[in-house]
Chain A
Amino acid sequence: MLEINALRAGITDKEILKGIDLIVPTGEVHAIMGPNGSGKSTLSYILSGRDGYDVTGGTAMFDGHDLLEMDPEERAAAGLFLAFQYPVELPGVNNANFLRTALNAQRRARGEEELDAVKFLKLARAEIKRLSMADDMLKRNVNVGFSGGEKKRNEVLQMAILRPKLAILDETDSGLDIDALKIVADGVNALRSPDFSALVITHYQRLLDYIVPDRVHVLAGGRIIRSGGPELAHELEANGYAAVVAEAA
């Protein structure tokens, strides 16, 4: 379970998150929607441990771990995965090598046996096939020369291979055509289980047609101003954020 309590955070001189309360019970998928600049990516970075932000109050607990006390890699090993809004390029670093190193680092940290190259490739190829991705994905350098859509799909592939317990997807659907969108949804839905939860950040109701969320939250101005069931996403799609924001004010 992810439990965020009165979380306040920002950068020097600027508070971005102004007291977030959010609970995502294990097994559930929640969507976060909200205008640009409302703090959605900041929330995902604070939860995953990126440097450069000051947490000024509140807590974030995941399965009994105090997330805010952990290094990013410890959070990853504990099962937290972030699909980046802007995936990063790693020149000269082969995707397969990157993923195997990452997977084995996590397994080592959890006291599990590491996968040798053969076992890893078998696993990776199976996921690639399941997600109908191109075979050369593994051979290419991490995100280098990838189109926007390929980068997002690569995030989904990484998620499929790392099998997190909590996935945060930051606008993974933005800029994708409908086929790619389905791949993203397949990636999340395949992981859905009583042990898995997800926080899906999106602007578009259409993704939520494929990944049906248990709850939808609206983040605006650093606060969650409204929460509801899947129907809230339809309301936002029909009326825009402005109406909800005005109503909450």
Chain B
Amino acid sequence: MAAVAETLDTVAAVTEGGYKWGFSTDIEMDMAPKGLNEDIVRLISSRKNEPAWLLEWRLKAFALWKKLDEPNWAKIHHAPIDYQDLHYYAAPKKKQGPKSLDEVDPELLKMYEKLGIPLKEHAILAGVEPVEGERPPIAIDAVFDSVSVATTFKDTLAKSGVIFCPISEAVHSHPELVRQYLGSVVPAGDNYFAALNSAVFSDGSFVFIPKGVRCPMELSTYFRINARNTGQFERTLIIVEDGGHVSYLEGCTAPQRDENQLHAAVVELVALTDATIKYSTVQNWYPGDADGKGGIYNFVTKRGACRGARSKISWTQVETGSAITWKYPSCVLIGDGSVGEFYSVAVTTNRQQADTGTKMIHIGKNTKSTIVSKGISAGRSDNTYRGLVRIMKNADGARNFTQCDSLLIGDQCGAHTVPYIESRNPTAKTEHEATTSKIAEDQLFYCRQRGLSQEDAVGLIVNGFCKDVLKELPMEFAVEAQKLLAVSLEGSVG
């Protein structure tokens, strides 16, 4: 059955209005004391039995973090974050890592069931052969607070040589791969939040697709922040060797809490020659209430390196959650003829603030990038697209196409487009198009005259506006992303 699709149906059916994923779960937790210092970094490392090199790597990152400053160039405003007032490690209490799903805390399984995310393989595999019109199975890694609690279909994947496991496990089972690639795309000192993540990351997903392998199913990580006053710092590393192919989905929700919660993830993608990585995100962290109380602070560094010729990395994101979003999934196009894509829908309502976009760095010859950004602002929110297209000296024949559209709902919200284009090669070509529109009263009336409710009309118009991005999502996610858009804009018109 559908992974996150049911989330929306199930949970939407149970609750009404507001944020529908906002329940919390009572699970016995193993928590580090509040605060951040070398001892906490050591504690995290030792809880995970990490090898000495990784502890050293973390400590170096921590030293860098202390020297860095929080970036202040984004169009976001928030009270200062007290980094000493957070827990940096929280894990469901258990003796050892679960060997199988049977060992996972039943409360946890129940919570994922409530979210509509089936961690039981047999439930997903009921018919084994996917029936036509039904979705094929998706392998899922579930990360609860800082720790991966279950990864499904590991064995099936292993048969084709695909490694899909928590990164904490990969550190032990494939140390050479982790050591070679960790921090190779986003170095520890890249920015303040990346440094913080490198020092304290606790878990996340690891994917390795060997040469010539097309991953036989969609891979998905589902992130859930549950614990109070806890930062979530997950780290994802995806490596695809020559000619390999993977489509990876990421979904996130969090309970509804009055205080802000910090989320600072790092995602690194590496695509070698002729490799393709499709990375899709449906981000629905708790956005805070109508007055701007509570919600997730989402400071995320996502970057992919197209290292091989003709490699391709495609980011697709649908972002409706978080009080603050600071996120610029990027592509470094090194290999000749490599391709980078960024398709984004960012919705802000109430007091949400989003400063999001992408960076496309063209280094190789004939590299190509496409950026399609759709920003939707409602309420008193602020929505900024910030994008950089940089074409280096040797990137002969580089091409970029950028399309940035903003849709305003109401007249108290803001939409801003900040494109930076730097070209150091005269043969390069860049195109930039931007539009700003409003949902017109006559469009709404037209729909309502045909029988649609005001809310369905907004949903329809918004989905139409986002179509070019939604069609990039894997089928499994497209439908739920559409519903999510409608739900998140409920009550924002009229």
Contact = CB atoms under 8 A, between A and B. Distances in A.
Contacts of B448: 49, 71-73, 76
Given A72-B448, A76-B449, A105-B452, A88 B463 contact: no
Interface string B448-468: 111111101000110111111
Given A73-B453, A76-B451, A101-B456, A87 B446 contact: yes
A141 B456 CA distance: 17
Contacts of B456: 101, 105
A48 interface: yes
A71 B442 CA distance: 15
A194 interface: no
A92 B465 contact: yes
Interface string B407-449: 0000000000000000000000000000000001111011111
A102 B453 CA distance: 9
Nearest to A93: B464
Given A51-B441, A87-B446, A102 B451 contact: yes
A136 B368 CA distance: 33
B451 A105 contact: yes
Contacts of A105: 450-453, 456
Overall SS of chain B's interface: helix
Given A92-B464, A92-B467, A93-B463, A76 B450 contact: yes
B337 to A, nearest CB: 31
A92 B451 contact: no
A209 B155 CA distance: 75
A197 to B, nearest CB: 17
Nearest to A52: B441
A49 B464 CA distance: 25
Contacts of B446: 84, 87-88, 90
Interface in A68-111: 71-73, 75-77, 81-82, 84, 87-93, 97-99, 101-103, 105-106, 109
Contact of A82 (B442, B443, B449): B449
Contact of B450 (A52, A71, A102): A102
Contacts of B463: 92-93
A158 interface: yes
B464 A90 contact: yes
Interface in A37-67: 48-52
Given A50-B445, A52-B441, A90 B461 contact: yes
Which size bracket describes the interface of B in this complex?
20 to 34
B447 A102 contact: yes
B449 A48 contact: yes
Nearest to A86: B442
A162 interface: yes
A227 B440 CA distance: 37
Contacts of A162: 450-451
Contact of A90 (B447, B449, B454): B447
A113 to B, nearest CB: 15
A158 B449 CA distance: 11
Contacts of A73: 448-449, 451-454
A141 B464 contact: yes
A101 B453 CA distance: 10
A103 to B, nearest CB: 7
Given A105-B451, A162-B450, A72 B445 contact: yes
B451 A90 contact: no
A49 B447 CA distance: 12
A98 B459 CA distance: 11
A76 B453 CA distance: 10
B195 to A, nearest CB: 41
A146 to B, nearest CB: 14
Contact of A109 (B443, B451, B465): B451
A76 B457 CA distance: 14
A95 B450 CA distance: 12
A84 B449 CA distance: 10
A106 B451 CA distance: 5
Contacts of B452: 73, 101-102, 105
Contacts of B467: 92
Best-buried of A71, A76, A89, A92 by chain B (most CB within 10 Å): A92
A88 B442 contact: yes
Contacts of A106: 450-451
B451 A77 contact: yes
B149 to A, nearest CB: 38
B104 to A, nearest CB: 38
A93 B443 CA distance: 11
A92 B441 contact: no
A88 B440 CA distance: 10
A144 to B, nearest CB: 9
A77 B56 CA distance: 68
Best-buried of A48, A76, A90, A103 by chain B (most CB within 10 Å): A90
A103 B451 contact: yes
Contacts of A91: 464-465
B453 A88 contact: no
Interface string A142-161: 00000000000000001000
B334 to A, nearest CB: 35
Nearest to A102: B450
A6 to B, nearest CB: 25
A97 to B, nearest CB: 8
A106 B452 CA distance: 8
Best-buried of A72, A90, A98, A99 by chain B (most CB within 10 Å): A72
Contact of B461 (A52, A84, A93, A103): A93
B409 to A, nearest CB: 15
A106 B456 CA distance: 12
B84 to A, nearest CB: 47
A104 to B, nearest CB: 8
A188 to B, nearest CB: 18
Q: Which 9 A-B pairs have the closest CB atoms?
A: A92-B464, A93-B464, A102-B450, A106-B451, A76-B451, A72-B448, A88-B446, A92-B467, A105-B451
Given A72-B445, A91-B465, 10 more contacts: A51-B445, A73-B452, A73-B454, A82-B449, A88-B446, A90-B443, A90-B461, A90-B464, A102-B452, A105-B451
16 contacts: A49-B448, A50-B445, A51-B441, A71-B448, A72-B445, A75-B449, A76-B449, A76-B450, A88-B442, A88-B443, A92-B463, A92-B464, A92-B465, A93-B461, A98-B460, A105-B452
